[in-house]
């Protein structure tokens, strides 16, 4: 199946070379699929079709990891290679900290999963900072390092400078989170063309390669994505639309559902802790391996030894999880995991599945959310497709398939590359150096934006009266990109006008989420 998908993908790329005409032979543009665990990047330049680029280790995807210690800095696989020796100096999964205040639930969850990483509250704000070698690094600085590394190997592949980029982010990212990604891209030397939702990018890649099949009759696709850190469902519709003098295919995002703490990494962490307990039971060490929730009680030297043992278990847990996606059982084998003892035990797929059976009902909730926002029933969806590494796990496939039956979930998208390729088409579309056949992407506003301001009037007695007013600027389920003008009848000095602008605190069907993040507002008078 993977080979067939790969062949079809390459044929599609070959056909896509006729989609655009480069207007500047010196220009190149790229995309970055910014995942919590892995990063994929694509480029397009004059005379070369869209392609996923290889990193410095000649791999098509790179771990989102950075190693920092005593002035030394490593990325990707080289960074992960230092995790067992220096577990407190390898930084991963920090995309979950982007744009979050220190007291945010995601930060608390990160500290629970990585107690060996020293993160603190910034002295200047409520943001999170990493303490590394007595220096403080913001999340955007850490992210900028990774993006700069990706840019370096992309430029080496292209053999020319690259500035323009489209970066993917989760659909649930708020304005505050997106601004941090934008800042990180700027620090890395990029000209950010757009932040595109990852589910939308995957659906866009599907539509672009099948543009001739799109007609005025709506075709609806649900992209179900189980990533490392989250699970999302993106409901889209393809149809042709007549604008001006031409009729072209367009894609409309109808609904999005998500669980931002349910992903493959959570399963890996549970398996890691399970392996620690299995080791303690089978090998009875003098000092038991302590799972991280209990490790804070250990003395410093024992804590460091425990970190290394847990790092070895985490690496093996990730490997075993992948093996059990294709096999019903496997051997867990780790050399000198703890107290110079080797570990060798058998683990079955059923045993692994029981570790996360309490999560079963959560895997289908994003689909319910997406359908509710899109105001459609499952019967009105034409196709459903799996995405993400977690979707390869048989139990997750079974849970979702039972939920959507009698429909069958397809596997016709390239799980590792569809998001990066969709973002790359959008990058070529937005770049000044390329002209592509039109394929409009209409995103969905999940979090409405409201502006509050004070209206001053004079009453009959000549007294000044103030009135607080609220206006919805961008409403729930509106499409974007878009802009909105607010006209005022009275003249006033801009520097004396006070306003507040935020995401409306009512979050509709999304639970346990609060968004009140300030936006950038441009004001002018004529």
Q: What is the 3-state secondary structure (H, E, C) of 263-314?
A: CHHHHHHHHHHHHHHHHHHHHCCCCCCCCCCCHHHCCHHHHHHHHHHHHHHH
> Do 289 and 256 fall into the same domain?
no
Last residue of a domain, one of 95, 120, 145: 145
Of 16-30, 50-64, 223-237, 457-471, least confident by mean pLDDT is 16-30
Q: Domain containing 23: what range? A: 2-55+161-262+361-444
Question: Residue 140 maps to which CATH number?
Answer: 3.30.420.40
pLDDT value for 516? 38
Which alpha helices (DSSP H) does 326-390 contain, by range? 349-354, 365-374
Q: Is residue 427 part of a domain?
A: yes
Question: At residue 523, does pLDDT exceed 90?
Answer: no
- Max mean pLDDT among 49-58, 107-116, 118-127, 161-170 falls in 161-170
Q: Are residues 255 and 368 in the same domain?
A: yes
Query: Is the domain of 524 the same as that of 494?
Result: yes
Task: Determine, yes or no, domain membership for 150.
Answer: no
Q: For residue 108, what is the enclosing H or E element? A: helix 105-113
Give 249-261 pLDDT, tens digit per residue: 999 999 999 999 9
- Give pTM, 2 decimals: 0.87
Residue after which a domain boundary falls, among 444, 474, 492: 444
Domain count, the chain: 4
Residue 486 resides in a domain: yes
* Domain identity same for 234 and 382: yes
Q: Which residue has the higher pLDDT, 495 or 279?
A: 279
pLDDT reading at 502 higher than 80: no
- 368 shares a domain with 344: no
**139 and 280 share a domain?**
no
Please say which residue of 117, 145, 173 terminates a domain: 145
Q: Which of 373, 422, 372 is nearest to 251 (CA)?
A: 422
Residues 377 and 453 in one domain: no
- Kindly state whether residues 50 and 67 are assigned to the same domain: no
Same domain (yes/no): 249, 238: yes
Query: For 81-102, what is each residue's pLDDT tens digit?
Result: 999 999 999 999 999 999 999 9
**What does the pLDDT read at residue 477?**
77
Residues 38 and 100 in one domain: no
**Two structure tokens written together for 307:** 């970190």
Q: Which of 145, 149, 150, 153 is nearest to 184 (CA)?
A: 145
């Amino acid at each position: 199946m993977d080979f067939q998908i790969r062949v079809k993908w390459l044929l599609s790329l070959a056909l896509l070379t006729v989609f655009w005409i480069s207007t500047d032979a010196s220009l190149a543009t790229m995309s970055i699929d910014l995942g919590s665990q892995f990063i994929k990047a694509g480029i397009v330049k004059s005379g070369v079709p869209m392609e996923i680029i290889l990193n410095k280790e000649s791999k098509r995807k790179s771990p989102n990891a950075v190693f920092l210690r005593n002035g030394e800095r490593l990325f990707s696989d080289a960074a992960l290679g230092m995790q067992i020796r220096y577990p407190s100096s390898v930084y991963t999964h920090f995309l979950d900290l982007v744009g979050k205040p220190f007291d945010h639930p995601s930060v608390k969850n990160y500290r629970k999963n990585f107690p060996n990483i020293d993160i603190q509250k910034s002295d200047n704000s409520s943001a999170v900072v990493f303490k590394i070698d007595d220096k403080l690094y913001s999340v955007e600085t850490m992210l900028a390092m990774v993006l700069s590394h990706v840019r370096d190997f992309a430029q080496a592949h292209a053999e020319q400078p690259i500035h323009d980029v489209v970066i993917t982010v989760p659909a649930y990212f708020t304005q505050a989170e997106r601004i941090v990604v934008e800042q990180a891209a700027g620090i890395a030397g990029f000209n950010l063309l757009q932040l595109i939702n990852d589910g939308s990018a995957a659906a866009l890649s599907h539509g672009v390669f099948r543009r001739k099949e799109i007609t005025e009759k709506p075709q609806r696709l649900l992209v179900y994505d189980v990533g490392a850190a989250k699970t999302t469902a993106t409901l889209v519709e393809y149809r042709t639309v007549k604008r001006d003098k031409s009729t072209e295919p367009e894609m409309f995002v109808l609904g999005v559902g998500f669980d931002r703490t349910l992903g493959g990494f959570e399963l890996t962490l549970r398996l890691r802790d399970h392996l620690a307990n299995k080791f303690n039971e089978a090998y009875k060490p003098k000092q038991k391996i302590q799972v991280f929730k209990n490790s804070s009680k250990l003395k410093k030297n024992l804590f460091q030894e425990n970190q290394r043992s847990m790092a070895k278990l985490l690496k093996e847990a990730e490997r075993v999880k992948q093996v059990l996606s294709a096999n019903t059982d496997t051997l867990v084998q780790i050399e000198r995991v703890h107290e110079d003892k080797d570990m060798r035990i058998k683990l079955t797929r059923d045993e692994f599945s029981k570790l996360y059976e309490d999560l079963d009902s959560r895997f289908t909730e994003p689909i319910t959310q997406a359908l509710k926002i899109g105001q459609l029933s499952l019967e009105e969806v034409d196709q459903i497709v799996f995405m993400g590494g977690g979707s390869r796990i048989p139990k997750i496939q079974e849970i979702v398939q039972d939920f959507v039956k009698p429909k069958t979930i397809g596997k016709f998208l390239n799980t590792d590359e569809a998001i990066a390729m969709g973002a790359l088409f959008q990058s070529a579309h937005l770049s000044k150096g390329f002209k592509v056949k039109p394929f409009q992407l209409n995103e969905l506003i999940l979090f409405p934006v409201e502006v509050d301001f004070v209206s001053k009037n004079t009453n009959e007695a000549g007294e000044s009266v103030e009135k607080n007013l609220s206006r919805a600027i961008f409403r729930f389920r509106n499409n974007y990109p878009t802009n909105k003008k607010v006209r005022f009848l009275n003249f006033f000095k801009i520097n004396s006008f006070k306003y507040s602008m935020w995401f409306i605190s009512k979050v509709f069907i999304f639970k346990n989420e609060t968004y009140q993040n300030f936006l950038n507002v441009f004001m002018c008078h004529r």
